[in-house]
Chains A and B, each alone.
Chain A
Amino acid sequence: MGWIGETVDSIKSLQIRHVLSQAVSLGMIVTSALIIWKALMCATGSESPVVVVLSGSMEPGFKRGDILFLHMSKEPIRAGEIVVFNVDGREIPIVHRVIKVHEREDTGEVEVLTKGDNNYGDDRLLYAQGQLWLQRHHIMGRAVGFLPYVGWVTIIMTEKPIIKYILIGALGLLVITSKD
Chain B
Amino acid sequence: MHSFGYRANALLTFAVTILALMCAMASVSDNFNSPSPTSKVQVLNINWFQKQPNGNDEVSMTLNISADLQSLFTWNTKQVFVFLAAEYETPKNALNQISLWDGIIPSKEHAKFWIHTSNKYRFIDQGSNLRGKEFNLTLHWHVMPKTGKMFADKIVMSGYRLPQEYR
> Which A residues are within 8 Å of any B CB, using their own CB?
60-62, 76, 78-82, 97, 99-105, 108, 111, 117, 122, 143-148, 174
Contacts and interface: CB of A to CB of B under 8 A. Distances in A.
B130 interface: no
Interface residues of B, number: 33
Contact of B150 (A99, A108, A145): A145
A77 to B, nearest CB: 10
A90 B153 CA distance: 32
B94 A104 contact: yes
Interface of B: 5, 23, 27, 78-79, 81, 83, 85, 90-99, 102, 104, 106, 121, 126, 140, 142, 144-150, 152
Given A61-B81, A78-B97, A80-B85, A147 B121 contact: no
Contacts of B98: 79, 99-100
Contacts of A148: 146-147
B147 A147 contact: yes
A5 B5 CA distance: 18
B96 A101 contact: yes
Contact of B99 (A62, A99, A108): A99
Contact of A117 (B81, B90, B150): B81
Nearest to A77: B97
Contacts of B23: 147
Given A80-B142, A99-B102, A102-B126, A144 B93 contact: no
Given A60-B104, A99-B98, A117-B104, 16 more contacts: A61-B79, A62-B144, A76-B95, A79-B99, A80-B152, A82-B142, A97-B142, A102-B96, A103-B94, A105-B90, A105-B91, A144-B150, A145-B150, A146-B145, A146-B148, A174-B5
